[in-house]
Each structure stands twice: as C-alpha cells, then as structure tokens.
C-alpha cells in the first residue's frame, strides 16, 4: 500500500507543496513533481554528484536524500541561476568560455557545488578547489577546464581578475 506525505518547502525562492510517495528521493520529487530537469539521475547511489542541489546552504546529492526530508527546507537547483531575461550566471558563462562542458550531464551538479563554494567569498587554492569539487564526477573533460572555470569566476568575484 503506497504511503504518501504532504511536503512543503521553498524551491528556488518559491513556496511549494506537493503530496509525495514516502519512497521517493528528492531527485524524484524535483524532476517529476516540479519538472526541474537540471537535477540529473546519474549513479543514484550518491557517487557522481549529477543530482547535486543546495539545501539550506549546503550541497546534497538529492538521489540519496528522501523527498520527505525536504519539509521546511530551502532548496536551490540550477534553474534558480537563470536571470529574468534568460541571462546566464557568471559561473555558467565561465563554463562555456572555458570549454568546461562536453556532454553536459555533470554540469548542473558541478555548477551547484561551485555556487555554494563561491558564496563563501573566500579565495581557495587549486588544491582546495579540487577537494571541494571531489564529489562531482566528469567522464569527458578531465576536470582541468572545470577547475579553470570555477577558479576564474572566484577570482573575478573577488576582484582579482
């Protein structure tokens, strides 16, 4: 017998509520109920980071986060970065400029990790950036261009580039 629960949360600044199956992951809820398809289903066991979203300011793999746990939380997905006229955020543009996107499947997850990192307004070394981005896997780029994109956006925001 299916078990359902009402989940109220804020998604990309908007208060929302929906009835979810208690067996659903947050990825299931964001994709199926809210059509937020930037949240990718990759490994579904918390290894690849393609489903990464920001919950109350911290990054989580939404595939291993139960949808019911989202109750009362503030959730941010890649869709939140889009400007009112469809403009890209600086970090998204940097991914394009640095050729940090090949197949693109890992990109939303990487960008959300970068968003959280950039919001700390700290300057990280290349080595620290590697550690912070270690929860996202990319099978195409070899990571160098991704690191370049994040590093350059960080330096630009700090007024050092």
Partner 1 sequence: MYDIKELFEATSVQNAVELRLAHPQALILAGGSDILIQMREGRLAGRELLSIYGLDELRGVTLEEDGTIRIGSLTSFTHVTQDPIVQKYINVLGQAVDMIGGPQIRNIGTIGGNTCNGVTSADSASTLFAWDAMIELTGNEGTRRVPISEFYIKAGVVDVRSDELQTAILIPKESYEGYQGHYIKYAMRNAMDIATSGCSVNVKLSEDKKTIEDVRIAYGVQGPTPLRAVVAEGLGRKKEISLDLIKQISEAVIEDIKPRDSWRASKALRQHIAVEMAHRCLIEAIKLSGGEV
Question: For residues 47 and 88, which CB has a smaller minimum distance to partner 1 in the complex?
Answer: 47
User: Rounded to an integer, what is the distance from CA 159 to the centroid of its chain?
Assistant: 24
In angstroms, what is the minimal distance from the CB of 93 to partner 1?
Answer: 24
In angstroms, what is the minimal distance from the CB of 83 to partner 1?
Answer: 27
Question: For residues 135 and 152, which CB has a smaller minimum distance to partner 1 in the complex?
Answer: 135
In angstroms, what is the minimal distance from the CB of 89 to partner 1?
Answer: 20
Q: Which of 63, 58, 46, 34 is nearest to 113 (CA)?
A: 58
Question: For residues 22 and 155, which CB has a smaller minimum distance to partner 1 in the complex?
Answer: 22
Question: For residues 70 and 89, which CB has a smaller minimum distance to partner 1 in the complex?
Answer: 70
Distance CA 55, CA 74 (A): 6
Give the neighbor-by-neighbor strand order of the sheet with 52-55: 14-21, 4-11, 74-76, 52-55, 58-61
In angstroms, what is the minimal distance from the CB of 23 to partner 1?
Answer: 5
Please report which helix (H) or strand (E) contains residue 60, including its range: strand 58-61
66 forms bridges with which residues in the sheet? 25
Task: Dig out the tokens for 58 from the structure.
Answer: 């911290």
In angstroms, what is the minimal distance from the CB of 116 to partner 1?
Answer: 8
Question: For residues 69 and 102, which CB has a smaller minimum distance to partner 1 in the complex?
Answer: 69
Distance CA 117, CA 11 (A): 20
Using CB under 8 A, list all residues that contact partner 1: 3, 21-25, 28, 44-47, 49, 52, 58-61, 64-66, 68-69, 71, 113, 131-132, 134-136
Distance CA 104, CA 12 (A): 22
């Amino acid at each position: 017998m299916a078990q359902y629960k009402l989940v109220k949360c804020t998604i990309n600044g908007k208060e929302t509520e929906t009835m979810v199956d208690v067996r659903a992951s947050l990825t299931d809820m964001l994709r199926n109920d809210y059509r937020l398809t930037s949240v990718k289903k990759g490994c579904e066991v918390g290894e690849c980071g393609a489903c990464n979203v920001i919950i109350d300011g911290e990054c989580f793999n939404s595939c291993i986060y139960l949808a019911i746990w989202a109750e009362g939380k503030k959730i941010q997905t890649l869709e939140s970065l889009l400007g009112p006229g469809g403009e890209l955020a600086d970090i998204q543009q940097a991914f394009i400029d640095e050729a940090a996107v090949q197949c693109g499947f890992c990109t939303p997850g990487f960008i959300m990790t970068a968003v959280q990192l950039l919001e700390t307004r700290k300057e990280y070394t290349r080595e620290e950036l590697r550690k912070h981005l270690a929860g996202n896997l990319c099978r195409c780029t070899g990571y160098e261009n991704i690191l370049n994109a994040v590093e350059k956006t960080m330096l630009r925001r700090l007024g050092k580039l």
